[in-house]
Structure 1
Amino acid sequence: MGAPSAPPTHDYEPAGELKIGQVGVANLRVRTLDVARLATEMADRVKRAPKLFARAAVIVDFGGLAATPDAATARALLDGLRSAGVLPVALAYGSSDNEKLSVELGLPLLAKFRAQYESAAEPPAAASVGAAPAASSASSRKIATEADPARPDAGEARASAPAGQPGLIQATPVRSGQQVYADNRDLTVLATVGAGAEVIADGSVHIYGTLRGRALAGAQGNEKARIFCRAFHAELVAIAGNYKVLEEIPKELHGKAVQVWLDGGQLKIAALE
């Protein structure tokens, strides 16, 4: 008799492993529903900072408008943004009309994505197509900095603390793809923040090494927060959502010790004496 046959084996491993992680996604808050103008502004951002914005994932937020646009207008905007060089991937959570629009467009809604620096009492802008009132530089230069506590990721470090607790200290280098977030407090980095890395604090950010990645202070809207850096080569710096990229910063500040702060809604950068 031959040897008994081995029992059949079953592969219970999934073909794809799904994890919910935190990723860097820009939030485009639409204030004037002028498709051509919005596409032109985005193309300009991509041109000025291609390493940061080219093929970047973008959430489209219609919450600043008096009414949700129709599907045809929204599709035209999405096409314009794609032509500008970015990739719209979702709509920001909003009204029931916004939810219906997301279904028509075949895009997901990201609940609670809208950055918390946007005041709930802020009056909505007019929703007329083709209107082009002058936009303030502050409102057009904001990014979402909300870090969602429900989405931990192996590439990030997150530390929550009650108000008044000491700041978070990061003693080791923050490498490309990593994110360190100080919840409700300051963040002090004793080492380098590498290109492609991100450090975020609800308070101020202090970096004693070289900053080559992104630093975001006042993530929950604290306009008093500041960024201090010993050697400045940042891809991006932001306070309460107001940001600048390296290409917009005077070259004489590159490599210098600097501080970054808000003054009247405008982001200021100056060398430390």
Structure 2
Amino acid sequence: MSAAMDYEQAGELKIGQVGIANLRIRNLDVSRLVEEMRQRVQRAPKLFARAAVVIDFGGLSQVPDEATARSLLDGLRDAGVLPVALAYGTTATERLSEALGLPLLAKFRAQYERADGGNPAPEPVAAPEPARPAASRPAAATSAPAAPAPDPGLIQAAPVRSGQQVYADNRDLTVLTSVGAGAEVIADGSVHIYGPLRGRALAGAQGNEKARIFCREFHAELVAVAGHYRVLEDIPPDLRGKAVQVWLEDQQLKIAALD
């Protein structure tokens, strides 16, 4: 009799939401980029030391050559972070990622395909229906269809504890209790926290600059809206422990106490 097959996997692979920083390169000055990153790590080591970083060359007119890219990666590692991937871009980006032995992060795919290929094709417009005599027209509907119920967003009733992450995909996030130190709450829309915020809160994760963060008791390690962030060391001491709102205005992150 043949031995029974063992179908149990040695490793279980799951795909999930992961908090990874995106470094969008706007000026390919390697020494300046490395120094800026070194300062970030020194100012907030708990947040940035050995942080996973995706390198995004979409802000440049052309992708750098392999030697320059390797110099940047080495410099960033020396500054204290860990480059783990390139943001999806053009075919040149894909070739560079293969040469560097780094994966492409697909979440940026749609954004770059629009940028590289021009504006998305417009939706087809239906031709107007020719006019018909009144007698042959269908009778008007007697009642309009019921409107769909509004989406309340994702509601997190339990505390978000250290090491946990809660992500609201394409909606708002409401946390009814607390967000502990080392925890992270992320929403593509706005974030509402009805207890203390001691971890990180990120609103507008997919670039929604109108998203906001509202918090009843502010002790955040980091807050961000549409990628613009501030860490605890940058926050005025008189706002700590207060009820605040965080929003983006003229590409600057604003934090103010709620009256």
- The verdict on a shared fold, with TM-score over 0.5 as the criterion, is yes
TM-score bracket, normalised by the shorter chain, equals 0.7 to 0.9
Task: State the aligned residue count.
Answer: 228
Range 90-99 or range 196-205, more displaced: 196-205
Deviation at 1:191, TM superposition (A): 0.4
What residue number does 2:202 align with?
216
Contact 1:115 / 1:220 at 8 angstroms: preserved in 2?
Answer: no
Give yes or no for the alignment of 1:103 onto 2:98.
Answer: yes
Give yes or no for the alignment of 1:58 onto 2:44.
Answer: no
The AA in structure 2 aligned to 1:47 is Q
Distance, in Å, in 2 between the alignment partners of 1:114 and 1:88 is 19
What residue number does 2:141 align with?
none
Percent identity over the alignment? 77
What residue number does 1:18 align with?
13
Deviation at 1:224, TM superposition (A): 2.2
Q: Structure 2 stretches of 5 or more lacking a match?
A: 117-147
Distance, in Å, in 2 between the alignment partners of 1:80 and 1:163 is 51
Matches within 5 A, 1:230-245: 230-245=216-231
Residues 115 and 258 (structure 1 numbering): CA distance in 2 closer, same or farther, change over 3 Å?
farther
DSSP 3-state at the match of 1:112: helix
Deviation at 1:96, TM superposition (A): 1.2
Point out the structure with the larger helix share.
2
DSSP 3-state at the match of 2:68: helix
Give yes or no for the alignment of 1:249 onto 2:244.
Answer: no
What residue number does 1:225 align with?
211
Determine which structure has greater relative contact order: mean sequence separation of CA pairs < 8 Å that are 6+ residues apart, divided by chain length: 1
Task: Flag the structure with larger Rg.
Answer: 2
Deviation at 1:230, TM superposition (A): 1.1
Deviation at 1:56, TM superposition (A): 0.3
Distance, in Å, in 2 between the alignment partners of 1:226 and 1:119 is 28
Superposed CA deviations along residues 205-231 of structure 1, whole A, max 9, x for unmatched, are 111111011111222322222211111
Deviation at 1:80, TM superposition (A): 0.5
What residue number does 1:195 align with?
181
Give yes or no for the alignment of 1:265 onto 2:247.
Answer: no
The AA in structure 1 aligned to 2:225 is I
DSSP 3-state at the match of 1:101: helix
Contact 1:212 / 1:235 at 8 angstroms: preserved in 2?
Answer: yes
DSSP 3-state at the match of 1:47: helix
Contact 1:225 / 1:261 at 8 angstroms: preserved in 2?
Answer: yes
Residues 119 and 221 (structure 1 numbering): CA distance in 2 closer, same or farther, change over 3 Å?
farther
What residue number does 2:163 align with?
177
Distance, in Å, in 1 between the alignment partners of 2:97 and 2:109 is 16
The AA in structure 2 aligned to 1:171 is A
Superposed CA deviations along residues 113-170 of structure 1, whole A, max 9, x for unmatched, are 3796x99569xxxxxxxxxxxxxxxxxxxxxxxxxxxxxxxxxxxxxxx995223321
What residue number does 1:135 align with?
none
- When normalised by structure 1's length, the TM-score is 0.76
Of residues 153, 156, 162 in structure 2, which corresponds to 1:167? Answer: 153
DSSP 3-state at the match of 1:20: coil
- When normalised by structure 2's length, the TM-score is 0.80
